[in-house]
Amino acid sequence: MPLEPYQYLSDVWKDGIFDNKVVFCTGGAGSICSAQVRALVHLGANACIIGRNVEKTENMAKDIATARKGAKVIGIGAVDVRNPEALAAAADRCAKELGAIDFVIAGAAGNFLAPMDQISPNALKSVIDIDVLGSYNTVKATLPYLEKSAAKHRTDGKTKPAKGTGGRIIFVSATLHYSGTPLQSHVSIAKAGVDAMANAVAIEQGPKGITSNIIAPGPIADTEGVARLSREDGREQNARSIPSGRYGTVKEISDATIYLFSDTGNYVNGETLVVDGGQWRTSGVQSSGPFKYPDFLLSGAVVTGVAGGKKSKL
């Protein structure tokens, strides 16, 4: 259903900054990627979203189009990102019907919860194929169009781009592999591969004016991922263990996307933008016991019961 603007972007962005631009997004019917695309459409872009489910993808495209009067949003279903020919055909259709491809979001992904000893080789291969091979196929299918856009919209950082920005790609990754995450070995392997690919694209395609960056979301509220991969009775405590004290919102991923695709991201290339409230940095904190995070810090209590405790003199 249509969202209110405050639900998918902040009010700091100027209307029209993506006028006459086109975004191509795999996984575009998902809760995070659809919000990213919706924000870009709100700010002037037209879009093409790709998905496997025909009805879901086409309906989401219609829904996203309500973000701006006159917006053109194409939903192409029955496309498996593991099929390079299908992706190439989708990219060609997008460019033909909308005139170009200026921005790409590689967002298709697969996930489930399981320990390594319960994951079959086929299951591991499936996740790697969707995430890594799918992202590779997305780059290959759209690279010719990104090169043209980058050449047309190249900026030196000194002057305002006369026709806006272009030639940019974002890979939607995760933070799971930074410190290790139980039950997510398959996805950690895949996302590490996606990150390596994104950096390779930045190095190889940067001289052509293309930027390649990564957005690594943490737990985002009201998304399919949180609904499928976490227990409802544990979400409140999980949120408390995040330094920011809450789950993120799709708006915060969209804002990061706008930053990287707009004039503000001109000199950002080969970077990982983690949007997780600081969650991945708390892997070593105690979730129970006398120094439970963040309760012990918020209590103002003095550390006792250990030889290394020392009362502050402040």
What's the rounded mean pLDDT across residues 22-26?
98
> What band does 309 get if pLDDT is binned at 50, 70 and 90?
low
Q: Which of 255, 184, 221 is nearest to 31 (CA)?
A: 221
Inter-axis angle of helices 54-65 and 31-42, to 10 degrees? 30
User: Facing residues of 274 across strands?
Assistant: 216
Give the start-to-end residue ranges of the domains of the chain.
13-282
Query: Residue 30's CB: how many other CB atoms inside 10 A?
Result: 23
So what's the pLDDT on residue 237?
Answer: 76
The tokens describing 250, both together, are 């799709």
So what's the pLDDT on residue 187?
Answer: 94
pLDDT in tens, 141-177: 999 999 999 999 988 888 776 689 999 999 999 999 9
pLDDT in tens, 242-268: 999 999 999 999 999 999 999 999 999
pLDDT in tens, 57-115: 999 999 999 999 999 999 999 999 999 999 999 999 999 999 999 999 999 998 888 88
Query: Residue 274's CB: how many other CB atoms inside 10 A?
Result: 19
Q: Do 36 and 64 meet the contact criterion of CB atoms below 8 Å apart?
A: no
pLDDT in tens, 269-291: 999 999 999 999 987 676 777 77
Kindly state the percentage of the chain with pLDDT values over 70. 92
Report the catalytic residues. Answer: 173, 191
So what's the pLDDT on residue 66?
Answer: 97
Domain 13-282 class, CATH top level = alpha beta
